[in-house]
Structure 1
Amino acid sequence: MIEVVIDDRCGGCGDCVDVCPSDVLARGPGGKAVIARQADCQTCYLCELYCPEDALFVWPQTDSVADVTAQQALATGDVGGFRRDSGWDEHAATHTNQHWRMGAIFERARLMAIDAAKTARTEDGRTK
């Protein structure tokens, strides 16, 4: 779950806000990211992946808030680790980026969600 936006690192680009599939993040003062709906976080790490400033910290725990502070996040040494280990941006030369493979998985999930919505409407007595 998203735990913290490290304010002094956030440059306000908004990439994390744009990529979040659950609209967990929003633009706050100065365009900087703020956590708006933490409970909606899917722990997909897309915000961390797209943050060029390594200003976000996602904790792998998905069912409750861990209350990690910026100082605690930085102390883990894991801030920016997902981008690095994924071979994103400046890490492309040293780590292999395989995220291109996720496109088919996301498309399959999208189609399953559409089918589920159609089924729910049919079961409610509404037409497709």
Structure 2
Amino acid sequence: MIEVVIDDRCGGCGSCVDVCPSDVLERAASGKAVIARQADCQTCYLCELYCPEDALFVWPQTDRIAGITADQALATGDVGGFRRDSGWDEHAATHTNQHWRMGAIFERARLMAIDDAAAKAARDENGRTS
């Protein structure tokens, strides 16, 4: 789930806002990205992938907000790691693009979403968890 936009790194290009399939991000009056609907994040990492400034941090946890701060994100050493490991932009000469491997992760997420929807439908139908 998207956890933080590192404000002093964000150049305001809007790429992350444009690429997000769930409209999680918006542009603030300053032009910089802000998290508007965090709970809607699909953890697809596209915002991180398209951010040329490495200003975004997506935590792999998909079902809850971790509450990570910008300092904590930077301390992980993972900020910008997804772009680097995917061989995008300036990393193309040193890292092979392995983005095709995400197919298995997206399939797992799809199956989890189907299971979650079925469980919600069962709760709605029965008024309780089945």
Q: CA deviation at 1:101?
A: 8.1
Q: Which residue of 2 aligns with 1:122?
A: none
Q: Which residue of 1 aligns with 2:51?
A: 51
Larger deviation: 24-33 or 90-99?
A: 90-99
**Counterparts of 1:106-125 in structure 2 under 5 Å?**
none
State the alpha-carbon separation in 1 of the partners of residues 2 and 99 from structure 2. Answer: 20
The 8 Å contact of residues 85 and 98 in structure 2, kept in 1 or not, is answered as no
The 8 Å contact of residues 24 and 41 in structure 2, kept in 1 or not, is answered as yes
Give the letter aligned to residue 19 of structure 2.
V
Larger deviation: 91-100 or 22-31?
A: 91-100
Deviation string 1:89-110 (CA, Å, 9 cap, x unpaired) is 000011111436879xx9xx9x
Q: Which residue of 2 aligns with 1:116?
A: none
Q: CA deviation at 1:29?
A: 2.4
Q: CA deviation at 1:30?
A: 1.4
Question: How many residues are treated as equivalent by the alignment?
Answer: 105
The alignment's TM-score, normalised by the length of structure 1, stands at 0.77
Q: What is the RMSD computed on CA atoms of the aligned residues? A: 1.8
Q: Which residue of 1 aligns with 2:82?
A: 82
- The percent of aligned pairs where both chains have the same amino acid is 90
Give the letter aligned to residue 4 of structure 1.
V
Give the letter aligned to residue 13 of structure 1.
C
Q: Which residue of 2 aligns with 1:65?
A: 65
Q: Which residue of 2 aligns with 1:11?
A: 11
Residue 11 of structure 1 aligns to a residue in which SS? coil
Give the letter aligned to residue 77 of structure 1.
G
Structure 1 runs (4+) deviating above 2 angstroms are: 98-103
